[in-house]
């Protein structure tokens, strides 16, 4: 339980990430739970949800299930979340009645998850309340996820709230949420959203690569993105797509090692050097 400002960082120059696992027979709600008003910085750690015969861990990191009166902040860099084996589990989860002022996740890998990579969709009362004011996801890979890679929800049309603000940039979404009417990324009610330089591959095949549910004043844009063998971008007003939209089969360096950098000279790399291209140093 984190109730203050704290940094958890792997030592420099390690050959691999330290791995958090559950050493007990009990199911744990999370490895790290963030309390009211705390600030958490995590760098260079792997969070493994299932480990041998030990109990499961429902989330790598989550906010407390107790109501907050002060927002929390989270900064995650060069981390890995994997082996969360139930549909309700997640790599990161913002609990109901809690608010992140800032959630910033960079250079991280989410893989082999039966639930959601990043879950900010627990506020379902449709009163204009949401789980994070500002969410920034950059240079991340989401691969082999049964649910959505990123799920953000704000219901209702309360004009007194300005967010959520969501930026997803330079990410790779591979083999994510291919269920019927699924969505690889859900940004329902985001009043400001940018999905830029992102590579969707074999994702959202049963429905959508990205799902919006915007009001006419919401500011949303999807640009310089590639959608190969992936679902549609679903918006109400059909005004989200920019001019840089591709449907090219990408050639990755080494998927087995989660290196989703584009091969030099491949067709997509010659079209745009900024799409996806992450994984070598996660």
H or E, element range at 211: strand 208-212
Does residue 37 have a pLDDT over 80? yes
For residue 282, being part of any structural domain is answered with: no
For residue 40, being part of any structural domain is answered with: yes
| pLDDT average, residue stretch 24-31 | 96
One DSSP character per residue, 219-277 reads EEEEESEEEES--EEE-SSS--B-S-EE-----EEEGGGTEEEEPTT-HHHHH-TTSS-
* 84 strand-pairing partners: 113
Q: Are strands 252-254 and 132-138 parallel, antiparallel or unpaired?
A: unpaired
For residue 278, being part of any structural domain is answered with: no
| pLDDT value of residue 276 | 86
- Parent domain of 112: 5-271
| pLDDT value of residue 107 | 97
For residue 276, being part of any structural domain is answered with: no
Does residue 168 have a pLDDT over 90? yes
Q: Are strands 199-201 and 59-63 parallel, antiparallel or unpaired?
A: unpaired
For residue 280, being part of any structural domain is answered with: no
For residue 194, being part of any structural domain is answered with: yes
What tokens does 101 get? 């002022």
| pLDDT value of residue 157 | 72
For residue 193, being part of any structural domain is answered with: yes
| pLDDT value of residue 126 | 86
What tokens does 156 get? 């209702």
Q: Are strands 72-77 and 39-43 parallel, antiparallel or unpaired?
A: parallel
Does residue 15 have a pLDDT over 90? yes
Strand order in the sheet with 172-176: 19-20, 46-48, 80-84, 109-113, 141-145, 172-176, 199-201, 225-228, 245-246
**Cis peptide leading into residue 267 (ω within 30°):** no
Q: What is the pLDDT of residues 38-95, one digit of tens each?
A: 999 999 999 999 999 999 999 999 999 999 999 999 999 999 999 999 999 999 999 9
Please state the length of the chain. 282
What is the domain count for the chain?
1
């Amino acid at each position: 339980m984190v109730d203050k400002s704290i940094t958890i960082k792997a030592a420099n120059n390690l050959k691999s990430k330290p791995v958090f696992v559950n050493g007990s027979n009990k199911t744990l709600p999370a490895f790290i739970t963030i309390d009211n008003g705390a600030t958490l910085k995590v760098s260079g750690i792997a969070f493994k949800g299932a480990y041998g015969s030990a109990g499961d861990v429902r989330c790598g990191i989550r906010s407390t299930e107790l109501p907050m009166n002060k927002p929390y902040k989270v900064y995650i860099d060069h981390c890995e979340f994997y082996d969360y084996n139930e549909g309700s589990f997640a790599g990161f989860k913002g609990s109901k009645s809690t608010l992140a002022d800032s959630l910033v996740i960079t250079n991280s890998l989410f893989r082999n998850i039966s639930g959601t990579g990043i879950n900010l969709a627990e506020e379902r009362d449709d009163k204009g309340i949401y789980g994070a004011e500002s969410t920034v996801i950059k240079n991340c890979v989401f691969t082999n996820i049964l649910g959505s890679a990123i799920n953000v929800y704000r219901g209702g049309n309360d004009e007194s709230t300005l967010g959520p603000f969501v930026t997803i940039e330079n990410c790779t979404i591979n083999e994510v949420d291919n269920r019927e009417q699924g969505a690889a990324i859900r940004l329902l009610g985001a009043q400001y959203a940018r999905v830029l330089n992102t590579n969707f591959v074999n994702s959202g095949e049963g429905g959508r690569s990205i799902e919006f549910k915007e009001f006419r004043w919401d500011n949303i844009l999807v640009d310089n993105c590639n959608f190969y063998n992936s679902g549609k971008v679903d918006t109400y007003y059909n005004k989200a797509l920019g001019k840089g939209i591709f449907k090219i089969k990408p050639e990755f360096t080494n998927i087995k090692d989660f290196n989703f950098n584009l091969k030099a000279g491949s067709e997509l790399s010659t079209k745009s050097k900024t799409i996806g291209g992450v994984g070598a140093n996660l």
